[in-house]
Amino acid sequence: MRRLIFILALALLVCLGIGGCTPRRVGEAMNRADSLMTSAPDSALALLDAIDPATLRTDAARARHAVLLTRARHLAYVPVYDDSLIAIGTDYYATHGTHAEKAEAFYMSSVVNNYHQRYEQPIVDGLRAEKHALATSDHLLLGLIYRTIADGFHQLYDGASSLLYYKKSYESFAKAPENKYTGWALLDISGGCLLGSNFAEAESYALKSKAYAEERGDSLLLLNSIIRLGHISFCNDSVKSTIAYYEEAIRMNESKLSGTDIENLGESYIVVGDTAGINYCKRLLENFDVKLPTFKLMMLERDGRYKEAYELSKTILSYQNSEVGKWFNRNYAAVISNYYELEEQRANLELTDARTQKYLIGCLSLAGLIIFTLVYFYRARLLRQKIDKQILIAQNLQNNLLKLDATKRELSDKITTLEARLSDSSSGSELMKSELSRMQKTLFEKQTLEDITKKQIRTLFSSRFKMIDELCAYYHQIHDLPNQQDKIAAKILGIIKEISSDTVHITSLEKYADQYLNGIMSRFRNDYPNLNDWEYTLFLYNILGFSNRAVCIFQNIKLEKYYNRKSSLKRKIETRTDSDTSEYLEYLE
């Protein structure tokens, strides 16, 4: 049985040890994933997926994990449709974290919203991210943010705004350390120019992108640059250039051409009358669902199938009308900008309200502290006056007690003498017996009066410190209360600690006890010279009549420990059996 208990206890300790290390290990795992994010996003994703959400014990840890996991999925080409995950990060970093953390959180939110095709929100998130990224020196992140904003404007058919942010993106990438985005930024600018029907400038940036790719051996960027040049040539009605660029792209990788690219190439083949090329494009288009099938329309017209061509042209016209409607709704940019400005105003108002609230709470706390201090000092003054009067009474009682003690000793001696005489007498004297009885009665009365006087002195003596004792009790009542009571509790504790921790105060208290209680502390120290300092102080506080809670505050201990210390001191006192022992123990009852 004992062995089983030992094994269970050992297992519990191991579990606690592992649990205690978990937050540190989780932090190390997230740091490792962050360092692998650019070079090995798949490994970073594996590390982050392995983290149990239950081990994320703080809001900061949960927010960081949400942002890193979203980023790892994005870089590993895993669709990030789960916007509830990144919301954990943006909700936290809206009011916490560094500028870099805020910028990354809002950037990843814009990426997620792009996947959801909510193109207005990525612009807003991007503008939020831009504000924080500008406060850092991370040009790479700033370039990615501008690129996301530009993509949003591009999808909303706002060519001017998308071109502006594509150019900002390129400038930021150019300032960043060696990265893979600079050449692609040139291609993005080309797309922005193409959306604005600025074909000459679009071709210029596409050629720059092509040259950049050839210089660095980037085959994927080169292929996309050639495809873009083919599309621009088609828009410029340059049929030969269109065919040349697209055929070059097909030789590099046929699968990278979109349905629109094949449509453009097929129409060019129809213009030049290349039957083999027409059949080739027709075969490729079987794998695409083309929204604007102009190649098929031209084929129907070429083959004289005008009725089918007419029906298809109506479908094309309907689609074109819907696209034109998007062009007329390009006021999205102004609406989004206004929305962003309103959000900034709302955030500033919330910040102002929070500051005003804190200011009011501070003023109320200060006013409460001032009122408490005034009341405290007023009561202290009245109490000191009352105590001074009681000290005078106590001094008179002490003098009377000394006289009673002397009388008691005199009577005790007489009684002893009479008892001795009576014991020597065989018959005894009635007179002596009567005298003895009278003296015993007087001694009893004196003893009773002495006991009453001692109790009065002890009551007056302990009342000297009633104010401090009440402070300790009040501190116990309010020290756990929130907000404005903290300063008051701290003030009370400071007053109490100043009295209890200063050795000068403690020494003066011992002298005070000796003065009015017949040298009790000097006698106690002499009778028990080997006690600890805290034991002498514990005995002193009990003599002075402080409550258990007050002594706990003075000695900075829990109530349970106070009772243990008190019991231990009693046992040490009981090792002696002289006349003072019972007096000492009375104070510890």
What integer pLDDT is reported at residue 13 of this predicted model? 42
pLDDT, mean of residues 380-398: 68
Q: How far is CA 46 from CA 33, 70, 585, in A?
A: 9, 12, 70
* H or E element in which residue 138 lies: none
User: Token match 């329309």: residue?
Assistant: 297
Lowest mean pLDDT among 14-18, 221-225, 425-429, 553-557: 14-18
Confidence of residue 361 (pLDDT cuts 50, 70, 90): confident
What integer pLDDT is reported at residue 177 of this predicted model? 83
Amino acid at 529: P
- Sign of the C-alpha dihedral computed for residues 275, 276, 280 and 286 taken in this order: positive
273 Ramachandran zone, left/alpha/beta (phi>0; psi -120 to 50): left
Whole-model pTM above 0.75?
no
pLDDT, one tens digit per residue, over 531-587 is 988 898 988 888 888 888 888 888 888 888 888 998 998 888 888 877 788 888 888
What integer pLDDT is reported at residue 277 of this predicted model? 82
pLDDT, one tens digit per residue, over 436-490 is 677 666 666 656 655 655 565 555 555 555 556 666 666 666 666 555 456 556 6
pLDDT, mean of residues 398-417: 68
* Mean pLDDT of the chain, nearest integer: 78
**172/22: higher pLDDT:** 172
pLDDT, one tens digit per residue, over 298-327 is 777 777 777 776 776 777 677 666 655 555
Selection from 116, 115, 123 nearest residue 145 by Cα: 123
What integer pLDDT is reported at residue 189 of this predicted model? 93
- CA 144, CA 197: separation in Å to the nearest integer? 25
What integer pLDDT is reported at residue 391 of this predicted model? 67
Lowest mean pLDDT among 65-79, 331-345, 396-410, 491-505: 331-345
Decide if pLDDT at 186 tops 50.
Answer: yes
The percentage of residues in the chain with a pLDDT greater than 90, rounded to a whole number, is 16
What integer pLDDT is reported at residue 498 of this predicted model? 61
- CA 154, CA 22: separation in Å to the nearest integer? 45
CB atoms inside a 10 Å sphere around CB 326: 13
pLDDT, mean of residues 211-224: 91
Provide CB contacts within 8 A for 177, sequence distance 6+: 140
pLDDT, mean of residues 221-243: 90
Q: Are 106 and 141 in contact (CB under 8 A)?
A: no
Q: Are 142 and 134 in contact (CB under 8 A)?
A: yes
What integer pLDDT is reported at residue 179 of this predicted model? 83
What integer pLDDT is reported at residue 476 of this predicted model? 62
Cα 584 to chain centroid distance, Å, stands at 53
- CA 33, CA 42: separation in Å to the nearest integer? 10
Q: Is 428 helix (H, G, I), strand (E, B) or coil?
A: coil
What integer pLDDT is reported at residue 418 of this predicted model? 64
- Sign of the C-alpha dihedral computed for residues 2, 6, 11 and 15 taken in this order: positive
What integer pLDDT is reported at residue 208 of this predicted model? 92
What integer pLDDT is reported at residue 513 of this predicted model? 82
Confidence of residue 14 (pLDDT cuts 50, 70, 90): very low
What integer pLDDT is reported at residue 269 of this predicted model? 85
What integer pLDDT is reported at residue 185 of this predicted model? 93
DSSP state for residue 468 in the 8-state scheme: H
Q: Are 566 and 538 in contact (CB under 8 A)?
A: yes
Decide if pLDDT at 56 tops 70.
Answer: yes
What integer pLDDT is reported at residue 394 of this predicted model? 61
What integer pLDDT is reported at residue 368 of this predicted model? 80
